[in-house]
Amino acid sequence: MTPAQPTGDLTEAPARSEDVDPVLHVRGLSAHVAGQQVVEHVDLDVAPVGVTALLGRNGVGKTSTIKAVLGLIGRAGEVELAGTDLVPLPTHQIVRLGIGYVPEDREVFAGLTVTDNLRLAERRGSEHRYDLVYDLFPELKQRGAQAAGTLSGGQQQMVSLARALLNDNQVLLVDEPTKGLAPKLVQEVSQVLARAAQVAPILLVEQNLQVVRELAHHAVVLTDGRSVHHGPAQEFLADDALTQRLLGVHGEGGSDPTEDHDQDRDQAGAGHTREEHTE
Ligand SMILES: Nc1ncnc2c1ncn2[C@@H]1O[C@H](COP(=O)(O)OP(=O)(O)OP(=O)(O)O)[C@@H](O)[C@H]1O
């Protein structure tokens, strides 16, 4: 079956991640926090174009996987960015090699203006792509003097993404960008991500399957700290039995992003079935 393409405007992405050299290559990743193993064995590739979704029920290790790639928590295994081994490097050097991080809680400086938030994100040694950022997010230019803390959740997400896009990054790691947003803002953020993905490939942690359907070309699914499924995102979402087994929700029945998706999120978090590496 030929997988359907996402409905976002991402026409150039290859259908199969294995058709091209990945920009981010992870094999046998394990990671620990406070002496506890939170990632057991993760393999994933991020294609150089488009969106790769990192999926799984609550608490399976998606955020920890991203933090492990960045060296924010102790880890072992293979992690390469365009062929460069990241494992021996500290986080500041990893970031300088070209990884943009959009954390789960957005982490904008609430008391600073939008413009100052962007200025603080400028990385030494990188070109600073203000033209690109303001072209993608004209609202941020209009709201440059506004304190970031007074922006809506969707606008704060724009600031967070703009900070990552400002520098010349090879890949963006974006963690649950629609979490906690009102339904209409989910759609806004989805459109923002589609625009961002035209500039840099994205590894996207996302619980809203309709957003995944709109954006993702590839899917990697985690269960209990292990990657248990890799493949075209649309094929995965179309396989009801598989999405039910691995996520606890029906792929085809994922909510519309304009509707409240708390139900998807709740269902996705309902249980931690131990899966073996079968896919
Ligand atoms: N700082 C920490 N201290 C102790 N345990 C942690 C810490 N951070 C994460 N964990 C544990 O590690 C496991 C993986 O958490 P992680 O946040 O990576 O999962 P996730 O898939 O991103 O979940 P969610 O969808 O809820 O964000 C969970 O069992 C969590 O309780």
Q: Which of 33, 37, 41, 104 to mutate to test the pocket of ligand 1 (most atoms within 8 A of CB)?
A: 33
18 lies in a domain?
no
Is residue 175 domain-shared with residue 241, that is, in the same domain? yes
Instruction: List, in sequence order, every residue forming a beta bridge with 54; answer none if it has no partner.
Output: 205, 220
Distance set, CA 253 to CA 126, 188, 238 (Å): 42, 21, 9
Is residue 48 domain-shared with residue 182, that is, in the same domain? yes
Whether the per-residue pLDDT at 15 is higher than 90: the answer is: no
Distance set, CA 234 to CA 15, 53, 66 (Å): 10, 11, 23
> Residues 103, 109, 114, 115: is their CA dihedral positive or negative?
negative
Is residue 178 domain-shared with residue 59, that is, in the same domain? yes
What spacing in Å lies between the alpha carbon of 15 and ligand 1's midpoint? 31
Most confident residue range from 116-130, 198-212, 256-270: 198-212
Higher pLDDT pick, 14 / 270: 14
263 lies in a domain?
no
How far apart are the two ends of the chain, measured CA to CA in Å? 17
What's the total number of domains in the chain? 2
Res. 37 pLDDT band, cuts 50 70 90: very high
Atom 31 of ligand 1, nearest CA residue: 59
Residue 2 near ligand 1, beta carbon < 6 Å? no
Other beta carbons within 10 angstroms of residue 256's beta carbon come to 12
What spacing in Å lies between the alpha carbon of 77 and ligand 1's midpoint? 19
Is residue 30 domain-shared with residue 163, that is, in the same domain? no
Which of 6-20, 104-118, 208-222 has the lowest average pLDDT? Answer: 6-20
The Cα–Cα gap between 38 and 15 comes to 31
DSSP letter at 250? -
Whether the per-residue pLDDT at 73 is higher than 60: the answer is: yes
Reported as a single tens digit per residue, the pLDDT across 132-189 is 899 888 999 999 999 999 998 888 888 999 999 999 899 999 999 998 888 888 888 8
Is residue 71 domain-shared with residue 91, that is, in the same domain? yes
Strands of 36-46's sheet in order across: 84-85, 74-81, 24-33, 36-46, 226-232, 216-223, 51-55, 202-205, 171-175, 99-102
Query: Is residue 254 within 8 Å of 244, Cβ to Cβ?
Result: no
Whether the per-residue pLDDT at 101 is higher than 80: the answer is: yes
Whether the per-residue pLDDT at 258 is higher than 80: the answer is: no
Residue 36 near ligand 1, beta carbon < 6 Å? yes
Atom 26 of ligand 1, nearest CA residue: 58
pLDDT for residue 18: 52
What spacing in Å lies between the alpha carbon of 60 and ligand 1's midpoint? 7
User: Which of 168, 189, 206 lies at the terminal end of a domain, its last residue?
Assistant: 168
Atom 10 of ligand 1, nearest CA residue: 38
Is residue 180 domain-shared with residue 211, that is, in the same domain? yes
CATH of the domain at 90: 3.40.50.300
Is residue 91 domain-shared with residue 183, that is, in the same domain? yes
pLDDT for residue 81: 96
What spacing in Å lies between the alpha carbon of 102 and ligand 1's midpoint? 17
What spacing in Å lies between the alpha carbon of 120 and ligand 1's midpoint? 28
Atom 14 of ligand 1, nearest CA residue: 61
Is residue 175 domain-shared with residue 163, that is, in the same domain? no
How is residue 60 written in tokens?
A: 């399976």
Which of 24-33, 208-217, 218-227, 245-254 has the lowest average pLDDT? Answer: 245-254
Is residue 136 domain-shared with residue 28, that is, in the same domain? no
158 lies in a domain?
yes
What range does the domain containing 149 cover?
A: 114-168
Residue 72 near ligand 1, beta carbon < 6 Å? no
How is residue 135 written in tokens?
A: 């072209």
254 lies in a domain?
no
Q: What is the mean pLDDT of residues 227-238?
A: 95
ipTM of the complex: 0.92
Q: Which of 62, 261, 274 to mutate to test the pocket of ligand 1 (most atoms within 8 A of CB)?
A: 62
Reported as a single tens digit per residue, the pLDDT across 74-97 is 999 999 999 999 999 999 999 999
Is residue 163 domain-shared with residue 44, that is, in the same domain? no
Res. 126 pLDDT band, cuts 50 70 90: confident
Is residue 184 domain-shared with residue 210, that is, in the same domain? yes
Q: What is the mean pLDDT of residues 55-68?
A: 96
How is residue 204 written in tokens?
A: 């996207």
Residue 229 sits at the vertex; the CA angle it makes with 63 and 42, to the nearest 5 degrees, is: 45
Whether the per-residue pLDDT at 255 is higher than 70: the answer is: no
Whether the per-residue pLDDT at 26 is higher than 90: the answer is: yes
222 lies in a domain?
yes
Q: What is the mean pLDDT of residues 109-128?
A: 90
